[in-house]
Structure 1
Amino acid sequence: MEWQDEGIVLGSRRHGETSVIAEVMTVDHGRHLGMVRGGRSRTMRPVLQPGNRVSLHWRARLSEHLGEFRVEPIEQRAALLMLSAPALHGVQAMASLLRLLPERDPHRHLCAAMEVIIAHLDDASAAGELFVRFELALLNELGFGLDLAQCAASGVRTDLAYVSPKSGRAVSNAAGTPYADRMLALPVFLRPDMNEAADRADLEAGFRLTGFFLNRHVYEPRGLKPDTARESFIQATLKALDAASTEHQIR
């Protein structure tokens, strides 16, 4: 059994004296593990850093075996990602979320989304908004997708302001205001009739929204705690936004 693919390195762990078990989010084969002989060498260690894009050749005697990777670098960006707290924590947070999916289950659009987010990790607002959308897509892949297209009560597609914590469906301002204290806020950048970039308050609402449903449907039923990388990314992103706002005011 063998195949060739491209992917993003999520992490690696030591295996024996000179090898590692590499974890990669591939385009066509999902999150996949494989042994890399000589992975701890001076040449391979920089290649197998989280966030790098690589070319892979996987081989095993049987499809259910761990198998071996032959890895070639395509884009080594880990060194740049390590210079920014949002970027460093963002890659780690996405890796932890992808580990909630079954291994070897293809999710091409999540792999593509991770590429886009990595390319925008130097822009706190864009990265935060894309990350929230990434979590929504992940919830959908896990079978817990939210319906944010129209109001659950009236069917209208405009003036959406809330999300029901029970159904995961959007609710309009008119229908939801009497129950606002029981609702989750729907960020402006997720409303289908709006086209605005996320500000700090919107990002906080977005993280709160996806975090609520991840806890309810994924972490709690599995007896898991959310990975600390997610909270670290959120705090680093909000801090970067605050710093950018202060600098703009000074100018």
Structure 2
Amino acid sequence: MQSGFVLHSRAYRESSLLLDVFTLNFGRLRLLAKGARKSKKGLHALLQPFVGLRLSWTGKGDLPILTDAEAAGTGVELSGSKLFCGFYINELLLHFLPSRDPHPEVFHLYRSTLDQLATDDGVERILRLFEVSLLGEMGYGLSLDRDAISGQPIDATKRYVYRIEHGPVENDEGIAESVGGATLLALEQKTLNAPDELQEAKRLMRQVINYHLNGKRLKSRDFFKQVTKDRPS
């Protein structure tokens, strides 16, 4: 059996589920869980996001069939805003991971990030570091420590414009959408903590991720915005 997580599931026909799973040795793939919604073994309740699983399946076509699933230890319990954070990182994996291409480093990163979300209140820092690491593993690594034009080390006291295809360039022209050198270095060194750095890093990473999504929208972002908009003040 293979270690894995359910990233997303949806109903299929009368009693089955279509599962997008992320596995240690086979990467991201889609499985058909026949009869899972009416299973007397509690399979539907087991096949949920953020639960470490052991999975087996059969078939080599486009839609292999799940043959067995069991819990691998205790699941991660996320609630409130942390639950939306979990859905967000799942959606990033669905967009960025190529199908059936193993990425064990990303698998371990994902599992570690879930553990951090469950136990650490610094969710903005956790998300930014996950985003930077994921993009790096996918071949979209950010240049954060040197000016893309001069080649000089980033100066924590200066401000930069981040050109996604090249990297940071000193903001000599006073462009409003700039990022502090201290923020770039904190991202590079994984030491984000200061509120202003977290805010700038969030804006920068959204810009970079949107660029690589090529116009695709993240449903988790939209859903979170709607929920917080409708929440009573």
Same fold? TM cut 0.5: yes
The structural deviation recorded for 1:168 is 4.4
Partner of 2:73 in structure 1? 75
For this pair of structures, how many residues does the alignment match? 218
Whole-Å Cα distance in 1 between the matches of residues 175 and 223 of structure 2? 26
Considering Cα pairs closer than 8 Å and 6+ residues apart, tell me whether 1 or 2 has the greater RCO. 1
Q: Secondary structure at the match of 2:44?
A: coil
Partner of 1:190 in structure 2? 187
2:26 corresponds, among 26, 29, 34, to 29
1:60-119 residue CA offsets vs partner (Å, 9 max, x unmatched): 0xx2331112211113425x21xx223211111011111113221222222211111111
Do the aligned partners of 1:110 and 1:134 also contact (CA within 8 Å) in 2? no
Opposite residue 190 of structure 1, the aligned amino acid is: L
TM-score by length of 1: 0.74
Instruction: Label 1:166 to 1:18 Cα distance change in 2 as closer, same or farther (>3 A).
Output: closer
Alignment of 1:117-132 (within 5 A): 117-121=113-117, 122-125=119-122, 127-132=123-128
Whole-Å Cα distance in 1 between the matches of residues 206 and 154 of structure 2? 25
Whole-Å Cα distance in 2 between the matches of residues 73 and 185 of structure 1? 44
Opposite residue 71 of structure 2, the aligned amino acid is: P
Q: Does 1:169 align with 2:167?
A: yes
Partner of 2:2 in structure 1? 5
Q: Does 1:85 align with 2:83?
A: no
Alignment of 1:222-241 (within 5 A): 224-229=216-221, 232=224
User: Any unmatched runs of 5+ in structure 2?
Assistant: 229-233
Whole-Å Cα distance in 1 between the matches of residues 208 and 152 of structure 2? 23
Instruction: Label 1:197 to 1:182 Cα distance change in 2 as closer, same or farther (>3 A).
Output: closer
Instruction: Label 1:85 to 1:229 Cα distance change in 2 as closer, same or farther (>3 A).
Output: farther
Partner of 1:49 in structure 2? 48
The structural deviation recorded for 1:196 is 3.7
Whole-Å Cα distance in 2 between the matches of residues 14 and 231 of structure 1? 20
1:204 corresponds, among 199, 204, 227, to 199
The structural deviation recorded for 1:15 is 2.2
Whole-Å Cα distance in 2 between the matches of residues 49 and 8 of structure 1? 8
Whole-Å Cα distance in 2 between the matches of residues 177 and 109 of structure 1? 38
Instruction: Label 1:230 to 1:184 Cα distance change in 2 as closer, same or farther (>3 A).
Output: farther
Do the aligned partners of 1:8 and 1:53 also contact (CA within 8 Å) in 2? yes
Partner of 1:112 in structure 2? 108
Identity between Structure 1 and Structure 2 (%): 26
The structural deviation recorded for 1:177 is 5.1
1:16 corresponds, among 5, 13, 17, to 13
Instruction: Label 1:30 to 1:58 Cα distance change in 2 as closer, same or farther (>3 A).
Output: same
Partner of 2:148 in structure 1? 152
Partner of 2:231 in structure 1? none
Q: Secondary structure at the match of 1:49?
A: coil
Q: Secondary structure at the match of 1:45?
A: helix
User: Any unmatched runs of 5+ in structure 1?
Assistant: 237-251
CA RMSD of aligned residues (A): 2.7
